[in-house]
Structure 1
Amino acid sequence: MSLEIILMFSVLLLTVIFFVFEVFPIDKIAFFIIVLLILLGLVTPEEGISGFSNSATIAVLALMILAIAMEENGVINWLTSGMSKVKSLPIYVIAPIFMFVTAGISAFISTTAVVIVFIKIINQLSEKYNISQSKLLLPISFAGILGGSCTLMGTSTNLIVNSVSNNLISQKLGFFEFSILGLIFLGISIVYLTISLRWLPWGKQQNLDRDYQIENYITTVRVTENSKLVGKKIHESFLHNNPDVLLLKLIRNNYTHNSPGKYISLKANDELILMCDLENLARINKSVNMNIYDIENLKIQEEKKIEKLNNPEKEIEEEERVFVELLMLPGASLLGKTLGNLRGFMMQDTIPIAIKKRKTLINEKERMVHSSEDKLELKAGDRLLIEISKEKIDALNTMENMVVLQEFEKVTRVSKVKRYFTFSVLLLVIALAATGVLSIMVSALTGISILLVTKNLDLNTIYKKVNWQIFFLLAGMIPLGVAMHNTGADMWISEKLLGFLDGQPNFIIIGVLFFVTMVMSGVVSNNATAIIMTPIAISVAYELGLDYKPFILSVMFAANFSFFTPVGYQTNTLIYGIGNYKFKHFLWIGGLLSLILWMVATFLLTKML
C-alpha cells in the first residue's frame, strides 16, 4: 500500500468520524475535505474546487431552486390539498395513501420539501382529529426517500451516481431507466410499513405546555414604577423562599446580579429573571404590578397606554398572544444562536421561550434548554418555542428556512394562475429531461429562467431558502472521489474485494456491494457514500468483465436506502424528535425494511447480469 493510499484512507476515516459524531456542520466538513486533499497533494487545486462546477452539483442546486418555486407558489400545497379529507379513515388506510402521494411527488420534487409539507399537514390532523403523528411521520419519510429513487431527478444521490459514472466510463442512466425497480421497492415498502404501524408508538398529542415544560420556564419581568415591590428588600417579598417562584438574576442599569442577595432593595425598572409557571406569572403581574414581557413589549404597552390617554373614545384592542413552535431547517438564519441572544435576531415583539434539541446518535434523549445563558446553539432539526401576537404569525413565514408547526398558521394565498403556471414549468422541465432533449441540469436551469423572467420566482427568495449546506457538501465530496481515483485507492479496494469475492456467484458479489453501501449510507451522508462507492463498483465490474449497470444501480439504490438510523437522510433527522421516536424504531423497523429491500434488490439486479 502506497503512502498516497494511506493518506487517502486517513482522510476517509476522518470524514466518517466527523459525519457520525457531527463534530462540525456538513458544510464545514466539506470545506475541511477540500483543503485537506489539496494540502496533502491528493488532488490539484483545480480538482479540489471542481465540485463547484460539476454538472451534478449545479443540477442539484437547480432542482432545489425549482422545489422552492413549487413551495412558494403553492404547487406542493395544491398537490397535497386533499389529504385532510382522509381524516375519518382508519390509520391503516390513511398511512398507505400518505405514503403513495408523498412518493409520487418526491419522484420529481425535492424529498425534503415534500416531507416538510406533510409534517405540517400531519401536525394539523393530529391537533384537530387526534390522529397519531408517530404512526405517519416515519412512513412518509421512508416513502419520500423511496419515491425519490424512482427517477433520475428524484434525489441528489441519483444525479451524483450518474455524474461519476459518466465521468469514469461515459455511461449515463436514462430518466426513467430504473423506475420499474424503484416502483417495486416502493410497493413492497408500503405494504411492509403499513403492517409495521402496530409497532410504531402512538405518540403523545402535541402540547406545547407539556413538550416545553412551560409550567417551569424562564422569563424576564420588569418592576414598574407603581409596583408594590419598589423599595422592598427581596427577603420581604414573595421572591424569597418561595417554592413556586425562583429569582435567578437581577438586572439594574445594565449590570447583572447573579443570585442576588436577600437584602437588596428593589427599584423601579429593575429587570428580574424568574423561573415559575404561567399561573404564578399572571398572579404576580396582577398583585404587584409587574410586566411579564421583555423591554420591547414594555415599550409597545406604554405606547398603547399613551394612545388610549390621547384618544379616550377610541377602543384599543388587546392583542392575543400565543405560543408558536418553529422547526429549524438547514440554512435557517437563527442557526448558531443561543436562547440568550435570539431576541436580537428575531422580529420585534417576539419572545423566544425555549429550545427543544433534536436527538442525535450521541444524545438519544432530547434536551430542553430554557436558560438564557445556556451556550447550546440552535442547530438544524431543533425546535424553538416563541411567544408572539397571533396577528403577526403570518410574518414568521418570511423568516429563512423555518417551518411553523402550529394549527393556527394561516395559509398564504397564491393566485391560481401563478400556481398553474409554475406547475406547467415543472412539467416542461420533466418532459425535456425525460425525453433527452436537454440534460436535467439544462432543463432545470431553463425552467428557473422562465420563472425568473415571468416574475414567478424571486432571486432574494432563492438566496434565503436554498439549502446551501447540501450544495457545499456535494462540492466538497466530489474532490474526494477524484482523490480516490488519483491515488488508486478505488482500485486497491476493488482488488481486495475481488480477492474476497473470487469464485463467488454473481448474486453474492452484488449482495456484498449493496450491503456495504447501504450500511455506510446509514452513518455517512448518502451523497458522500455514493461518491466513495461508485468508482469502487465500476472497478469491480471492470475487473470481472461484467455489465456496469447493475453495479451502478446497486450503489444508487443502496445509498438511498438509509432507513435504519435517523441520521442517514435529512427527512429522518427532521421527523426523529417530532414523532417521539426512539433510535430502536429506526433500527428495527427501518433495519428490517433495509434487509428486505437488500434481498429483493440483490435478486433483481443479479438478473440483469
Structure 2
Amino acid sequence: MSLEIAILFLIIIVVIVFFALEVFPVDKIAFFILAALLLTNLVSPEEAISGFSSPATITVLALMIIAIGLETNGVIDWLASGLKNLRVLPIFIMVPVFMFIAGSISAFINTTAVVIVFIKIITELSAKYDIPNSKLLLPISFAGIIGGSCTLMGTSTNLIVNAVAIDRGVERFSFFEFTWYGVIFMVITIVIVSALIKILPNTKKTKISEDYNLDEYITKVIVTENSSVIGKSISESFLYNNEDIEVLRLKRNGIINDRPGKFTTLKEGDQLLLRCNLANLIKLKDAKGFTVIKEEDNRKLADPITDSEELEENVQVVEILMLPNSPLIGKSIKTVGWYDLHGAVPLAIRKRRNFRNPRRRIFNRGKDEIELRVGDRLLVEVSESALDELQKIENVTILQQHKNIEVTTKTKKYISLAILLVVIALSAFSIFPILKSALIGCFLMIFTKCIDLGKIYSQVNWQIIFLLAGMIPLGVAMNNTGADQWISDQLLLIFENQTDIIVIGILFLVTMVLSGFISNNATAIIITPIAISIAASMQMDPKPFILSVLFASNFSFFTPVGYQTNTIIYGMGIYRFRHFFIIGGIVSLVLWVTASLLLSASL
C-alpha cells in the first residue's frame, strides 16, 4: 500500500465517521472532502471541482427541479388523492395497497417528495378516522425507497452509479434496464412488510400535549399597579430566573410582541402570556401586582382539531416537521426571527434520535439554544390568521391537516404531468440520454411557468448537490491513487476460487451495511469503482457488479439514518430503532439473498 492510498483511506474513514455520527451537515462534510483532497494533492484543482459539472450532479439537479414543479402544481397530491377512499379497508389490505402506490410513483418522482405527501395523507386519516398511522408510515417509506430502484431516474443514487460507470468505460444503463429486478424486489418487500405489521406499534394520533409532555398551563396575566416587576427588565424579574415559568408573549397598548427579549422592560398594564406549572400558577394568583385573567390547561390548548377552546385571537397550537433544505435547518430558536416563523411562537422541540442523542428528545426549557435538524418537530403557537402564512414556509410541513388554499390551476397540473411523461419517453426510448431529457423537462417547466426561478432556488435540496460535488472527486482520487485497484486485488485474494454468487453476495452485503450508516450516495461513489475493478480483474461483465452496488446502496432499510425518508418518519416519534432493525433487517436479508442469486445468474 502506498502512502497516497493510506492517506486516502484515512480521509474516507474520517468521512464515514462524520456521516455516521452526524457531526456536521452533509454539505460541510463535502467541502471537508474537497479541502482534504486538495491539501494532500490527491486531486488537481480541476479534478476537485469536477463534481459540480458532473453529468450525475446536473441530472440530479434537473430532476429535482422537475419534482418541485410536480409537487408545486399538485401532481403528486392528485396521483395519491384516491388513497383517502381506502380508509374503509382493513389495515392488512391498506398497507400493501399504500406501498404499491407509493412505490410506483417513486419510480418516476423524487422519493422524498412522494413520502412527504403520503405522510400528510396518513396523518389526516389518522386524525379523522382513527387509523393507526404507525402501521403505514414505515411501510410507505420502505416502498418509496424500493420504488426508486426500479428506474434510472428513480433516485439520485441510480444516476450517480450510472455516471461513474460511464466514466470508467462501461456502457450506460437504459431507462428500464433493471426495472424487472426492482419490481421483484418491490413485491418481496411489500409481502414481508405486510406480514410483519403486527411488530409495528399500534399508535394512533395522540394529543400534542401528551406527545410533548406539556403538563403545564398557558396563563395570561396583567401587570397591575405597585407590581414589583414594573420598571424591571424580564431578566431582572422572577419571571426570568424561575425555570418553571416562561414568557411567551407580551401585549402593550394593543401591540403584540411575540418574542419579548430578556432586556424588555415591564410596565403597568402589560399583558403577559406565560407558561408555567401548577405551583407557579397558584403563586401568580396570590401574588401582588398581577391579575390572572385567563388560564388554560395545555392538554386542551394543544389540540385545535379536537377541542374548541381558543386562547386569544383564535390562537392554535400546531406541530411542524423539518424537511430537507428547510430555511430553518441549522438555526436555533434564538436565531430564528419572528419573520421566519410568520409570527408563530415556539413552545417545544421534539428532536429525532440519532447515534449521539439516543434518548433525550423533548426540549421545553432551554429550547432556544437547540439547533433544528431534518426530521425534528417544532411545536408552535400561531394565530389562525397567520396559519396560512406558516404553511408557505419552504420545506416545512404542518402535521396537523388544515384547509389548504388552491394555488395552482388544473392546466398547470396537467402540463406538469405531461412534461414528466415527455422526459420519461425521451429517455425510455433512448431518444436522448437522461441528462438531456431532464434538462429539456426543466426548460419546459420554466417556459410554461409551471415553476418560477425563486421556488427553484429555495426548494432545491442543495445539500445533496454539494454532497455529490464533494464526493465525486473522492472517486477520482481513488482512481488517481490506485486505491480502487488495490482494494480489488485484496478482495480477489479473498474471493479466489469462490463462486460468482459469493463474490456478488459479499459485495452487495458490504455496500448495504455501509449505506445503513452513511449517505447512500456517498456509498455508491466509494464502492462503484471497486466493483468495476473487481469485474475487470475477474474478466466478467461489470453490469451485474454495478447493479449490486446500485441496489445495495438504496436498500438501507435496517437503520433510520441510511435514507432521508426513514430519517423523516423516525423524527415523528412513532418508531424506535428496533422497528427499523427488525423489519428492515429481515427485508434487507431476504433482498440480499434474492439479489445475489438473480445478479450472479446473469453473469
Output the TM-score relative to the length of structure 1. Answer: 0.88
Q: CA deviation at 1:426?
A: 0.6
Q: Rate the CA distance shift 1:88–1:251 in 2: closer, same or farther, 3 A.
A: closer
**Paired AA for residue 462 in structure 1:** I
Task: Judge conservation of contact 1:231–1:266 (CA < 8 Å) in 2.
Answer: no
Question: Equivalents in 1 of 2:87, 2:575: separation in Å?
Answer: 22
1:148-187 map, 5 Å: 148-187=148-187
Matched, 1:503 2:497: yes
Which secondary structure state, in structure 2, belongs to the residue aligned with residue 408 of structure 1? coil
| Residue 288 (1) aligns with residue 285 (2) | no
Alignment of 1:477 onto 2:468: no
For residues 149-193 of structure 1, the C-alpha deviation after alignment (integer angstroms, 9 at most, x for no partner) is 000000001000000000002321110000001000000110110
Query: C-alpha distance in 2, partners of 1:452/1:195?
Result: 44
Counterpart of 1:13? 13
CA distance in 2, matches of 1:210, 1:251: 23
Distance 1:231 1:119 in 2: 49
* 1:91 partner letter: I
Q: Say yes or no: does 1:32 pair with 2:26.
A: no
Does residue 451 in structure 1 map to residue 441 in structure 2? no
Aligned alpha-carbon RMSD (Å):
3.2
For residues 106-149 of structure 1, what are the alpha-carbon distances to aligned partners after superposition, in whole Å with 9 as ceiling and x for unaligned? 00000000000000100001101111111111110000000000
Equivalence map 1:555-570=2 (5 Å): 555-570=549-564
Which residue in the other structure is 2:143 paired with? 143
In the other structure, the counterpart of 2:388 is: 394
Counterpart selection for 1:339 from 333, 336, 341: 333
Per-residue deviation at 1:596? 0.2
Q: Does 1:591 align with 2:585?
A: yes
1:393 Cα offset (Å): 1.9
Distance in 2 separating the partners of 1:600 and 1:369: 44
Quote the offset at 1:88 in angstroms.
1.3
Match of 1:230 in 2: 227
Which among 574, 596, 601 is matched to residue 595 of structure 2? 601
- In structure 1, runs of 5+ residues without a counterpart are 234-238, 259-263, 294-316
Query: Contact between 1:122 and 1:133, CA under 8 Å: does it hold in 2?
Result: yes
- Distance between the aligned counterparts of 1:552 and 1:265, measured in 2? 67
Q: Secondary structure of the equivalent of 1:574?
A: helix
Deviations 1:284-307 (A, max 9, x none): 69x8156899xxxxxxxxxxxxxx
- Post-superposition offset of 1:391: 3.1
Shift of 1:208: 1.1
Using the alignment, how far apart are the partners of 1:92 and 1:538 within structure 2?
Answer: 42
Counterparts of residues 358-397 of structure 1 (less than 5 Å): 358-371=352-365, 374-397=368-391
SS at match of 1:392: helix
Report percent identity of matched pairs: 49
- Contact in 2 for aligned 1:222/1:270 (Cα 8 Å): yes
1:82/1:521 CA distance change after superposition, 3 Å = same
Please state whether the residue corresponding to 1:412 is helix, strand or coil.
coil
Residue pair 1:228, 1:288 contacting (<8 A) in 2 also = no
Aligned counterparts of 2:266 and 2:54: Cα–Cα separation in 1: 67
Kindly state the Cα deviation for residue 404 of structure 1 after the two structures are TM-superposed.
1.1
Contact 1:358 1:366 in 2 (8 A): no
Measured against aligned partners, the alpha-carbon deviations of 1:193-234 in whole angstroms (never above 9, x if no partner) come to 0001011111242321111223337x896744xx3673589x
Q: What does 1:248-263 correspond to in 2, within 5 Å?
A: 256=262
Partner of 2:277: 276
CA distance in 2 between partners of 1:592 and 1:392 (Å)? 45
- Contact (CA 8 Å) 2:30, 2:471: kept in 1 or not? yes
Question: Which residue, out of 458, 463, 486, partners 2:480?
Answer: 486
CA shift for structure 1 position 461: 0.6
For 2:189, the equivalent position in structure 1 comes to 189
Within-5 A mapping of 1:565-576: 565-576=559-570
Bigger mean CA offset, 50-59 vs 244-253 = 244-253
Contact in 2 for aligned 1:433/1:439 (Cα 8 Å): yes
2:558–2:585 CA contact under 8 A, matched in 1: yes
| Alignment match, 1:297 | none
Matched residue type, 2:549: V
C-alpha displacement of 1:589: 0.9
SS in 1 for 2:503: helix
Once the two structures are overlaid, the 10-residue window that deviates more, 434-443 or 513-522, is 434-443
> Which letter does structure 1 place at the counterpart of 2:334?
G
Task: Quote the Cα distance in structure 2 between the aligned partners of 1:188 and 1:95.
Answer: 14
Assess if the C-alpha contact under 8 Å between 1:339 and 1:355 holds in 2.
no
For residue 256 of structure 2, what is the aligned residue in structure 1? none
Q: The residue matched to 1:326 in structure 2 has which SS?
A: strand
- Normalising by structure 2, we get a TM-score of 0.88
Equivalences for residues 84-99 of structure 1 within 5 A: 84-99=84-99
Structure 2 residue runs without a partner (length 5+): 231-236, 253-259, 297-310
CA contact (8 A) 2:376 2:572 kept: no
Look up the match of 1:549. 543
* Alignment match of 1:465 (pick from 445, 448, 459): 459
1:290-369 map, 5 Å: 319-369=313-363
Deviation at 1:521, TM superposition (A): 0.5
Q: Secondary structure at the match of 2:378?
A: strand
Equivalent-residue separation in structure 2 for 1:108 and 1:58 (angstroms)? 17
Matches within 5 A, 1:424-443: 424-443=418-437
- In 1, Cα distance between equivalents of 2:85 and 2:430: 38
Residues 272 and 102 of structure 1: CA distance in aligned 2, closer, same or farther (over 3 Å): closer
Q: For 1:26 and 1:245, locate their aligned partners in 2 and report how far apart those are by CA, in whole Å.
A: 35
CA distance in 2, matches of 1:122, 1:276: 34
Larger displacement relative to structure 2 (324-333 or 55-64): 324-333
Alignment check: 8 A CA contact 2:504 2:599 kept: yes
Counterpart code for 2:227: V
Inter-partner Cα distance in structure 2 for 1:382 and 1:169: 43
> 1:454 and 1:64 mapped to 2: Cα distance?
17
DSSP-derived class of the 1:18 partner: helix
- 1:516 counterpart = 2:510: yes
Change in CA separation of 1:411 and 1:601 when aligned onto 2, cut-off 3 Å:
farther
Count of aligned pairs between the two proteins: 571
Q: State the match for 1:72 in structure 2.
A: 72
- Distance apart, 1:365 and its partner CA: 2.6
- Pair 1:354–1:318, CA change in 2 (3 A): closer
1:607, 1:232 → 2: CA distance?
80
Counterpart of 2:305 in structure 1 is none
Return closer, same or farther for 1:569/1:288 CA change in 2, 3 Å cut-off: same
Determine if contact 1:69/1:457 at 8 Å carries over to the other structure.
yes
Q: 1:411 to 1:607 in 2, by over 3 A?
A: farther
After superposition, where does 1:198-213 map in structure 2 within 5 Å? 198-213=198-213
3-state SS in 1 of match to 2:135: coil
Aligned partner of residue 578 in structure 1, secondary structure: coil
